[in-house]
Structure 1
Amino acid sequence: MMKCPVCSKENDDFATTCIRCSSFLQNRIPNLDFFETAWKILESPQKTFRRIVVAEHKNYSFFLFALFGISLSFSAFWYFRLGNRFDTLLDLIPWAVLVGVCLGVATALVLTALYHGVAKLLGGNSSLRNSFAILAYSLVPIVGSLVLVLPIELLTFGMYLFTSNPHPYTIKPLSYVLLMGFDGAVAAWSILLVTIGTIVGHQLSLVRSIVTVSVTLALFGGVFFLAAGALQVGG
């Protein structure tokens, strides 16, 4: 809690004005600058998550989820080897992007609801909007990988990245292991960021934050793979 210097009223740590006398407690942050916030979330996540929570407008959150959806779509095309259903890579990419944008919107709604619900059950102290923004900006490493690493993967393996005959590992084993390992490290980085964001935004302990993130990922993973499997069978 934060004590007002004028009337000594206890206020929420993220309040900008006192609930009793309306005195300013800390600087207002009307909007978030995308590139500055994206860089600082990697450089100084605790301070940046605090700025995100205090900010009046959580700019670019849906944009980040849309890009995450595209990354998730390409991952699903890779995991389920859906390249066998397309003639060329130029046919596959537009579908992966289109599905990804839709998937990003759905993921934003489902993942935020799951995360916020679990956090609240464990004593979390933040709004749904803040939960949404915490998740969105935690995705910055994955979004960075989409922009920087996916093109390298496509140039290296082409259509074979999404097929099983031949498997991309048999074409260039070292490149495949390095690129997949990098993708795994980036995903772990995002998980670490959302854990830090949970500690800061929901004011939970480290253990409860880890449980919140773990349960959310388990529930979301189950929903995602059940839905993807059903669509694959139906297709």
Structure 2
Amino acid sequence: MITCSVCGIVNSELDTICVSCKSFLQARVDALNLFETIWGLIESPRATLRKIVLARHKNYAVVLGLVSGLTVFFDIAWMKQLGDRFGELVSLVGMGIVLGPILGVVALALVSLMLRLLSKFWRGKATKKNMFAATAYAFVPLAIAAVFVIPLELATFGIDFFGTNPPPALIKPLEYYLILGLKSVLWIWMAFLLIEAMMAANAFESKRRLPVASCVLGVMGILITAIRFA
């Protein structure tokens, strides 16, 4: 919440002008700097996500969805053990390049929609545009995985990472569990950012953090379970 220095009225943290006296409260950036914003998500996630919500132009949101889709695709391929169905890595990678970005944008739109609908239970004020942008930047850990971790797993294991004959844990156990550990950390970071994104987009107070966290983890659990047993 922001208290107006002129009239003392308490405003929402997303207000730029006081609702009472119309005094200036805070500035809005015109556009977002991608790398500066990513660093901000590490250094000060809540403040950075609020900056994203307040920005006039939510640039890079769709790009992050497209890149994140590569991680979504290859993680699904690992969960569904698609390596047993593909004879060559080239075929799987080709499918990932084609379907991954589409899958990423669909996942981004679906998650942002679900979080926005759930936020209405607590009278959330998130607009479609703000929730979509905040969710997109919460997908940054998946984009990082797509750039650094996915190439590592493909180079280290090839098609064997996604199969069971033989299991990748038996081929190179240290490398396998190291990669799984890195990806687990990135997925946990994404879950944390999604919580902060939902808080920032709706200007929720701290007391809403627990129910918001429950919503985010519930949505992620539902989607992962649906994919696992599809």
> How has the CA–CA distance of structure 1 residues 121 and 222 changed in structure 2, closer, same or farther, with 3 Å as cutoff?
farther
Asked if structure 2 preserves the Cα contact closer than 8 Å seen for 1:46 and 1:197, the reply is yes
Q: Which residue of 1 aligns with 2:182?
A: 182
Alpha carbon RMSD of aligned pairs, Å? 2.1
AA in 2 matched with 1:68: S
Q: Which residue of 1 aligns with 2:48?
A: 48
Asked if structure 2 preserves the Cα contact closer than 8 Å seen for 1:45 and 1:193, the reply is yes
Q: Distance in 2 between matches of 1:29 and 1:217?
A: 31
> Mean alpha-carbon deviation: is it higher for 71-80 or for 117-126?
117-126
Q: Which residue of 1 aligns with 2:220?
A: 217
AA in 1 matched with 2:50: R
Q: Which residue of 1 aligns with 2:86?
A: 86
Q: C-alpha displacement at 1:7, in angstroms?
A: 6.4
Q: C-alpha displacement at 1:19, in angstroms?
A: 5.0
AA in 2 matched with 1:97: I
Q: Distance in 1 between matches of 2:111 and 2:86?
A: 30
AA in 1 matched with 2:107: T
Q: Which residue of 2 aligns with 1:146?
A: 146
Q: C-alpha displacement at 1:206, in angstroms?
A: 1.9
AA in 2 matched with 1:67: V
Q: Distance in 2 between matches of 1:20 and 1:31?
A: 28
Say yes or no: does 1:72 pair with 2:72. Answer: yes
Q: Which residue of 1 aligns with 2:165?
A: 165
Alignment deviations for residues 112-150 of structure 1 (CA, whole Å, 9 cap, x no partner): 111111122134332222221221111212211221111
Paired residue secondary structure (2:14): coil
Q: Distance in 2 between matches of 1:122 and 1:223?
A: 26
Alignment TM-score, normalising by the size of structure 1: 0.87
Alignment deviations for residues 166-204 of structure 1 (CA, whole Å, 9 cap, x no partner): 111111011111111111111011111222233333214
Q: C-alpha displacement at 1:164, in angstroms?
A: 1.2
Say yes or no: does 1:207 pair with 2:186. Answer: no
Q: Which residue of 2 aligns with 1:156?
A: 156
Asked if structure 1 preserves the Cα contact closer than 8 Å seen for 2:115 and 2:198, the reply is no
> Mean alpha-carbon deviation: is it higher for 135-144 or for 2-11?
2-11
Q: Which residue of 2 aligns with 1:58?
A: 58
Alignment deviations for residues 195-231 of structure 1 (CA, whole Å, 9 cap, x no partner): 22333332142212212212222333344445xx2xx
Q: Which residue of 1 aligns with 2:14?
A: 14
Paired residue secondary structure (1:137): helix
Q: Distance in 2 between matches of 1:52 and 1:185?
A: 23
Percentage of matched positions with identical amino acids: 33
AA in 2 matched with 1:148: F
Asked if structure 2 preserves the Cα contact closer than 8 Å seen for 1:66 and 1:105, the reply is yes
Asked if structure 1 preserves the Cα contact closer than 8 Å seen for 2:80 and 2:228, the reply is no
Alignment TM-score, normalising by the size of structure 2: 0.88
Structure 2: segments with no counterpart, 5+ residues: none
How many pairs were matched up?
227
Q: Distance in 2 between matches of 1:224 and 1:60?
A: 27
Q: C-alpha displacement at 1:25, in angstroms?
A: 2.2
Paired residue secondary structure (1:179): helix
Q: C-alpha displacement at 1:105, in angstroms?
A: 2.0
Q: Distance in 2 between matches of 1:120 and 1:174?
A: 45
> How has the CA–CA distance of structure 1 residues 79 and 221 changed in structure 2, closer, same or farther, with 3 Å as cutoff?
closer
